Amino acid sequence: MTHLLLAIIYLAFISLGLPDSLLGSAWPTMYPELGVPISYAGILSMIIAIGTIISSLQSDRLTKRLGTGKVTAVSVVLTAIALLGFNLSANFWMLCLWAIPYGLGAGSVDASLNNYVAVNYESRHMSWLHCMWGVGATIGPYIMGYALTSQQDWHKGYLYIGLIQIILSALLLCSLPLWKQKKIADFAQEENNTTVTTHTHTDQPLAIKEVMKIPGTKEIMGCFFCYCALEQTASLWSSSYLQLARGISTEKAAEFASLFFIGITIGRAISGFLTFRMDDTQMIRLGQFLILLGIAFVLLPLSSILALVGLIMIGLGCAPIYPCIIHSTPLHFGEDKSQIIIGIQMAFAYFGTCIMPPLFGLLANHLSVKLFPYYLGVILLMMILLHEHLLTKTKKGCD
């Protein structure tokens, strides 16, 4: 039963990734039909992000009240309804309306599932699960592309993904007894275990103010902010940098920039095997080193090929950091606090996503796009300092 539940969790992570890249792939077709400026994609993105932040911050209360299985099922249902709403939308304001459940469905399930895996499974599963997210994020645009190139339209693309989410929702609802059996098995194991734990478990959700007073929480939130800021800045601006700063053609720049995502997906598959020999801290440091090496390759004023290799290396370096920070959270703070801390981490992640890539856009517009690798370097340095400070505060650096 445990393996069956794990397989369902893998499917749930694929479902998390499916809608994430739809808007970007469909928007060039959507905005002329809707009669709105191209920049209005940012409005939809912000509404989704705000909904995700709100639901991430509420994930602890929801999970304690409903359990991870129900939160996951209900969240995927919400996302499916939102996608079907996108399919029925004929005006931009309707998209804005459906973007609300779109975001609310994403935040809770992300935080709740990540915490469940961090507490109950080994680090390798966290890496492989986030690799499955990458698979979903890759499949989504292909389905949208099929709809757009087979004499259909973007509405059908959202319809297909929405129908897939409904099937996954039904599967998750049928799997609810498995989550309960896992909980009972865990309880029985704790009863037979003679090791005394130092963490006090409580069913009462902690207030955010109380959580932020725990040593190390500010540092781990900052790590998440910096990581997502770096990943999203690299994904959004790498193509522009290659074209404007390195003179690579628009088509080639877009083609090679996509290798960044492939690097992350492949890197997470490889990371799962590396965790057999390395712990979370070592994996995070390895990722940071690879990102640093990648930035150095991008900075070197040599061939453009070296810059392309650097971008792939940045993607490979990003691969282990996100899942390993999440997986290490129960170790740093205890299982009783990990759910709310991971929820707040997700909120900080979306803050980083919302703020830092647009900030670089302003710098590129008023100064130069050549600042791209330096900008990534500053964010990386902040992340390294915050992570090392976290290890000092929680005394896990030498474990």
Q: State how far the Cα of 276 lies from the Cα of 299, in Å rounded to an integer.
A: 33
Nearest Cα residue to 327 out of 59, 110, 106, 125: 125
Both tokens of 300, joined, read: 């070197």
pTM: 0.73
- All structural domains of the chain: 2-182 (1.20.1250.20), 208-394 (1.20.1250.20)
- Residue 352: pLDDT band by 50, 70, 90 thresholds? confident
Asked if residue 368 lies in contact with residue 345, where contact means CB atoms within 8 angstroms, the answer is no
Long-range contacts, 151-154 (Cβ 8 Å, 24+): 153/29, 153/33, 154/26, 154/29, 154/30, 154/33
Both tokens of 162, joined, read: 């929405």
Instruction: Please state the rounded mean pLDDT for residues 278-303.
Output: 89
How far from 28 is each of 25, 41, 148, 305, 378, CA to CA, in Å?
7, 10, 11, 29, 32
Q: What is the pLDDT of residues 60-94, one digit of tens each?
A: 777 778 888 888 888 888 999 999 999 999 899 99
Q: What is the pLDDT of residues 306-347, one digit of tens each?
A: 888 888 899 899 989 988 888 888 888 887 777 778 778 878
Q: What is the pLDDT of residues 191-201, one digit of tens each?
A: 444 333 344 44
Q: What is the pLDDT of residues 99-143, one digit of tens each?
A: 999 888 877 677 777 778 877 778 788 788 878 877 887 788 778
